[in-house]
Amino acid sequence: GFGTLNGKPWQDQRKITMSTMKDLGFGKEYFEEVVWDEVAEFIKYLKTTGCSQLEGESLWE
């Protein structure tokens, strides 16, 4: 898997991953703004539900 690669395969996989992420907007100011907006909405959701602990699966249903 991705986490067990090393040497040339790791370098190739990293290059592909970084290129794809850059194409999707990672590392750009616009993308950072989108992420912060989503984080703010998520925090509002948590406050309205009164959650103190989270079960990850229930958030995505």
What is the count of structural domains for the chain? 1
Is 16 a member of any domain?
yes
Is 55 a member of any domain?
no
Is 52 a member of any domain?
no
Tens digit of pLDDT for each residue in 14-26?
899 889 988 887 7
Q: Percent of the chain having pLDDT more than 70?
A: 75
Q: Give one DSSP letter per residue of 6-47, joined into a string.
A: -HHHHHHHHHHHHHHHHHHTTTSHHHHHHHHHHHHHHHHHHH
Is 15 a member of any domain?
yes
Is 22 a member of any domain?
yes
Range of the domain at 19: 8-43
* The predicted structure's pLDDT at residue 54: 65
Is 61 a member of any domain?
no
Regarding predicted confidence, which is higher, 11 or 4? 11
